[in-house]
């Protein structure tokens, strides 16, 4: 026997409210419409649903069982409505984000934590990728957005890039590095110490080559390579090695005081950190909400970062 789910919902509402008029008002229906539905349900099951002469209305044993099923349907319906509203507002759902390792570890992961504190019903799935992998993942609908530094490279009309932070690289070292005692740093000073090589595929690798050209060297003494951001910082903190890093990454580590800026001007890449999306792809409201959170966070941060940058007494 198939029963109309709406009739079961109306039965539950009438019993919970204590009367037909009250139950109809709860559901946003008219009293005559609900009365017709209950009469139809009674006719369908062939048994009375209410004990006669009782006010407020009291269910028969069969009526109570059917009302319990109606409450389950009402609860499921409300949860479904909440899910749709949450999805449309971006307060529920999955965010798939890819990004370059150093920026993800130093800055974006913290912003993800802040975002999830604000939106506890959103899940974030993060992947480490450089630009070529990000482009492929966006084209394959494997991620919703990428956070990546991009320079003059033209990705064509299929992609949309929103800048969130201008690029700025520095030479990083430990706070007690001998070079920090030099009043005037010279190019050959940098060649006397070991260096850390960026991760394979990182744009910082080409930046390191630019530094080599600027100081007139064909090669550097690479003593460590392939490490994550935390391992690079640990290595710098324990040695006199140098590394080229984004200024914002070193800024994000300032409270730990394990790595600092060597005030030597180096060639700067024409590159900015930003959010990369595929044009025409279906936009996830949760992903767009997250992108807005990251954009606002960097809008607040960039002025602080700039003040710290201006506080460095740069030399050559």
Asked if pLDDT for residue 201 goes beyond 90, the answer is: no
Average pLDDT over residues 176-190: 88
pLDDT digits (tens, 9 = 90+) for 111-164: 999 999 999 999 999 999 988 999 999 999 999 999 999 876 667 889 999 999
**pLDDT score of 220:** 78
Asked if pLDDT for residue 212 goes beyond 90, the answer is: no
Average pLDDT over residues 262-280: 90
**pLDDT score of 206:** 78
Average pLDDT over residues 167-175: 92
Average pLDDT over residues 253-275: 90
Average pLDDT over residues 178-192: 87
pLDDT digits (tens, 9 = 90+) for 64-105: 999 999 999 999 998 888 888 888 888 999 999 999 988 999
Beta-strand pair 222-225/195-197: parallel
Which domains are assigned to the chain?
5-89 (1.10.10.10), 93-167+271-311 (3.40.190.10), 169-261 (3.40.190.10)
The pLDDT confidence band at residue 313, using thresholds 50, 70 and 90, is low
Q: Work out the number of other CB atoms within 10 angstroms of the CB of residue 85.
A: 11
**pLDDT score of 97:** 98
């Amino acid at each position: 026997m198939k029963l109309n789910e709406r009739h079961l919902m109306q039965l539950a509402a009438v019993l919970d409210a204590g009367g037909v008029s009250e139950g109809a008002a709860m559901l946003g229906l008219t009293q005559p419409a609900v009365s017709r539905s209950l009469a139809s349900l009674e006719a369908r099951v062939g048994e009375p649903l209410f004990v006669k002469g009782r006010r407020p209305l009291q269910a028969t044993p069969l009526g109570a069982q059917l009302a319990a099923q109606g409450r389950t349907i009402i609860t499921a319906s409300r949860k479904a409505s909440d899910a749709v509203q949450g999805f449309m507002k971006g307060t529920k759902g999955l965010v798939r984000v890819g990004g370059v390792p150093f920026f993800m570890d130093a800055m974006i992961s913290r912003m993800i934590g802040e975002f999830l504190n604000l939106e506890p019903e959103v899940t974030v799935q993060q992947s480490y990728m450089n630009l070529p992998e990000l482009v492929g993942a966006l084209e394959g609908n494997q991620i919703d957005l990428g956070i990546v530094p991009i320079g003059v490279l033209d990705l064509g009309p299929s992609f949309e890039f929103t800048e969130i932070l201008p690029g700025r690289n520095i030479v990083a070292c430990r706070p007690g590095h001998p070079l920090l005692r030099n009043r005037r740093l010279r190019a050959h000073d940098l060649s006397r110490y070991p260096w850390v090589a960026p991760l394979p595929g990182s744009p910082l690798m080409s930046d390191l080559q630019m530094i080599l050209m600027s100081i007139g060297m064909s090669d550097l003494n690479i003593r460590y390579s392939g490490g994550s951001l935390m391992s690079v910082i640990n290595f710098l903190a324990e040695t006199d090695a140098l590394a080229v890093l984004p200024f914002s990454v070193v800024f994000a580590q300032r409270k730990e005081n394990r790595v600092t800026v060597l005030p030597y001007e180096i060639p700067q890449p024409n590159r900015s950190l930003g959010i990369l999306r595929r044009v025409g792809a279906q936009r996830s409201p949760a992903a767009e909400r997250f992108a807005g959170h990251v954009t606002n966070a960097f809008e607040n941060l960039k002025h602080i970062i700039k003040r710290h940058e201006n506080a460095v007494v740069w030399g050559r």
